[in-house]
Structure 1
Amino acid sequence: MKKISIKFLSTLTVFTLVFFTSCQNKETNEETVKEVKEEIKKAPAARIASPAPSPFSTLEQKVGLTDVTIEYSRPNMRGRTIFGDLVPYGKTWRTGANANTKVTFSTDVTVNGTNVEKGSYALYTVPNQKSWDIMLYSDANNSGLPKEWDDAKVVAKVSAEVVKMPMNIETFTITLDDLTNNSGVIGLLWEDVYVGLPITVDTDKAVMASIDEVMKGSPNANAYYTAAVYFKTENKDIDKALIWVDKAIEMTKEDPKFWMLRQQSLIHAKAGKTETAIAAAKKSLELAKKAGNDDYVKMNADSLKEWGAK
């Protein structure tokens, strides 16, 4: 009887331990599940990485001293007819995909004779078969077209002739080409169509102010050289350019530069001093050969031939 009691008690003890352990594990599991659910709630929704149908692009270009930045999304043709179908004629187009195309100027610019203050603008167009209206709109943050169009926000408008291209451009493309010190053309290309928006910048005013300021002090060789080349390029006082480039060459005579001598030869030639132009070109040619610069070798050789050098 005593043995049975001990056995019974042992069994009861084991059962009790298992029962309490089971209950404890259940409570622990419930707490764990609760914690996991809370973490899932906090975790961001899973996202699948995939390419955008109309990839975003940023174009940055210096025009003279003005920084021009264009931000836009680029849809593809994908076998579709674009103008006159996907993009209707006679209706305002966002000029790209997704949010409006944004153009930012770091200085004031001129568009079609109209001053456009530095800042950001939405670029909108009205495509037609033979010409497009291209507009800069002062509200630069829209999901495509503005909810309510406001003509008062059109700061500049240009009618641009459509140029038909000999091939299709699959992806909508914006360029900034035909660059000079004072101008450029924002080009829009898609399907077989090209239209351009000319812009001009007042680079000369800024450069001349800089030259005047530097020349009041103690200009170094590079300052004289840069000023001389600018005067030559912009058809300004060639006699001043001559004086400045000669000073630059004199200041670097211990370590002559073939590109400086090249510009000296061109400035002398433009000033009608052919003999000294030839002498400078020969020095530039010799140094370019030593430097292994084939471009300058050819340019100098061509000029020497043009000027009748022996």
Structure 2
Amino acid sequence: MANSIQLLTPRHWTDYELIDCGGFEKLERFGNVILIRPEPQAVWPKGLPESEWTKRHDIRFRGRSATSGEWIKKNLKLPDRWHVGYRNPEVAIKLRLALTSFKHVGVFPEQAVNWDYISDTVKSFSTGRPKVLNLFAYTGGASLIARAAGADVTHVDSIKQVVTWANENQELSELSDIRWVVEDALKFVKRELKRGNSYHGIILDPPAYGHGPKGEKWKLEDHIAEMMRDVVQLLDPHEHFLILNTYSLGFSSVIVENLIRAALPGAQQLETGELSLQATAGSKLPLGVFGKFRKMN
């Protein structure tokens, strides 16, 4: 049975801290750099006084439109790029962060919960070098974790610059041999089915909206059922795992559970719920829903 009320929060990440959240913003530490960024989910009041946010932050994002903005630094000597590390009991990686015009910095910290699941599962497989497919793979945190755990990894994203960024993270992490693919995820999956390929692990982190390299349109609610129907056919029948993350405000963990059960009624060890970050000041910040399952030999 699935547990649809799990609230998972990362445990191991010393280079990241959600200090406070509220008033549609979040105060975060990445390494030694403290940022203020917009956060539409944080509809409650801030836990710390505004004066504390002003005193503690190094860089603040100021939106110019619904999709872009600029970073305001307290000190112009502060870097536009810097590195953070992540380590759990089994693997360690490094990531380059950067101040982008879209308020992102190159990592979604709540995904560390899934990274632990990936490394634990890959290490537990009887297959010597399991194959893992990471779709909508962004800057590659999950790809790096799977590779560090011993998997043969294929990383698929539609944006070339983001794949280049992921390759830089591979070099920083002193890893090699990840297969990089700049492609529309759904098209890639359909070609893999025709080729008769299979994977022991599949990670899906689809956006609510997106575009492929040739202008292909992705809309989560229109395409996710088709994607799930196809990807489960790529899973190795003997041992496998699958993780699905969704960030759309309209998606609940029940929807994710229904999608997985419709695509693979026999999914084993199915878990669903919310990913969150625990603020040091007290509040929990919800950051999307997940579904995951695995079959072990």
State whether TM-score is above 0.5.
no
User: Which structure features the higher share of strand residues?
Assistant: 2
Which has the higher Rg, Structure 1 or Structure 2? 1
Larger relative helix fraction: 1
* Greater length-normalized contact order (CA 8 Å, ≥ 6 residues apart): 2
